[in-house]
């Protein structure tokens, strides 16, 4: 399980390839390949947008203080 968390962290940093999902003795169908492609494409995009949302929320709270305070 630690290997999967490490791989997800590396994947979020942008250092990933499709070869980690393939095993030599297992034949993948086109559905498996499509699922891997979707997962590898949209996971970093989703987490990047999530982190930008957190950042904007923090900045909005910090600079959104009105003159009444």
50/7: higher pLDDT: 50
Residue 69 clears pLDDT 80, i.e. is over it? no
Question: How buried is 68 (Cβ within 10 angstroms: 0-12 exposed, 13-18 middle, 19+ buried)?
Answer: exposed
The pLDDT-based confidence of 6 (bands split at 50, 70, 90) is confident
Tokens of residue 46, six digits? 């989703």
∠39-23-1 over CA atoms, to 5°?
65
| Whole-angstrom distance, CA of residue 27 vs CA of residue 23 | 8
What tens digit of pLDDT does each residue of 21-62 get? Answer: 777 788 888 998 898 888 888 888 898 899 999 999 998 888
1/46: higher pLDDT: 46
Q: What is the pLDDT of residue 5?
A: 82
């Amino acid at each position: 399980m630690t290997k999967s968390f490490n791989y997800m962290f590396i994947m979020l940093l942008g250092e990933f390839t499709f070869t980690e999902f393939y095993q030599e003795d297992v034949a993948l169908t086109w559905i498996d390949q499509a699922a891997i492609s979707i997962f590898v494409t949209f996971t970093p995009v989703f987490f990047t947008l999530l982190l930008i949302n957190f950042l904007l929320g923090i900045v909005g709270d910090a600079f959104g203080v009105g003159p009444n305070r």
